[in-house]
Amino acid sequence: MDHATRVGNRLLAALPPADFALLAPHLRKIVIERDTVLVRSGDRIEHLLFPLSGAIATIMELPNGQTVATTIVGHDGAVGLTTALGASHSPTTAVVRISGAALQISPAQFLAAQQCSPAIGAMVQVFTRSLLTQLQHVAACNALHSVEARMARWLLHIHDRANGSDLLPLTQETLSELLGVRRTTVTHVVSTMRASRALRSNRRGQLEIDRPRLEAVACECYKVLSRRIDRIISHGTVGLVHRPPARSASRPPGSRIAGTGC
């Protein structure tokens, strides 16, 4: 089994083995359960998570209590990686929407490894570019497209990270939170999408989707954004293997970086 297959997260898998080895001793595999709040907006970031499976929504919470989803993260991203940019508190709330697994590491351990590895620093830049692209595109989509088209887009993004299952464990309350609309609006949109057979059922807090019909309902943002994110991650991570190697722990006396083994 090769390095990329073993790791399971696209960002970590792209690191050269020597650079990944700086993180590996500190990575702990955990289960992430549906509806678990991983971090709340304004809370100190205690852990970085690199999902291996499942889907995590980042939610922007306004002072009046309204919420709206800003990104969906799966095995192609990370949660809490803004600590690498100097942020100690989370700007958004991260909630697990599809159960799965993740690799967990403390910010201190990640930052110490990053100081030793230009490739890890470049990985952070790749993820930042993909995150900004998603945020900008979602903002434009929210302003210009219908609730029905936006719901279809979110469902497709989540389905991409749902391990192949067409049955998505999403309640109307969850959809309301994702879309930033009232539950009555969600009820109407779900009814319309069932009539078009993009959704086959809506029972016990689960939505069964018909993917081809759902793609027909979604705005063009789904395909455009998916292609852009994939291109950023694919092209960006290819360049990681050409970065200077991780600094060896065996350096001349006095040349170590404080707080690291570099």
- Relative to beta strand 37-39, strand 28-32 is unpaired
Asked whether the beta carbons of 202 and 194 are under 8 A apart, the reply is yes
Q: How far is CA 93 from each of CA 58, 175, 177, rounded to the nearest angstrom?
A: 5, 15, 12
Cα separation, 106 vs 118, in Å, equals 19
CATH topology of domain 146-218: Arc Repressor Mutant, subunit A (1.10.10)
User: One digit per residue, pLDDT tens: the chain, 262 residues?
Assistant: 344 447 899 999 999 999 999 999 999 999 999 999 999 999 999 999 999 999 999 999 888 888 999 999 999 999 999 898 888 899 999 999 999 999 999 999 999 999 999 999 999 999 999 999 999 999 999 999 999 999 999 999 999 998 888 999 999 899 999 999 999 999 999 999 999 999 987 677 789 999 999 999 999 999 999 999 999 988 777 666 555 666 654 333 333 444 555 6
Cα separation, 44 vs 47, in Å, equals 9
Asked whether the beta carbons of 15 and 120 are under 8 A apart, the reply is yes
The domain spans of the chain are 1-112+121-144, 146-218
Residue 118 token pair: 């230009």
CATH topology of domain 1-112+121-144: Jelly Rolls (2.60.120)
Read off the pTM.
0.88
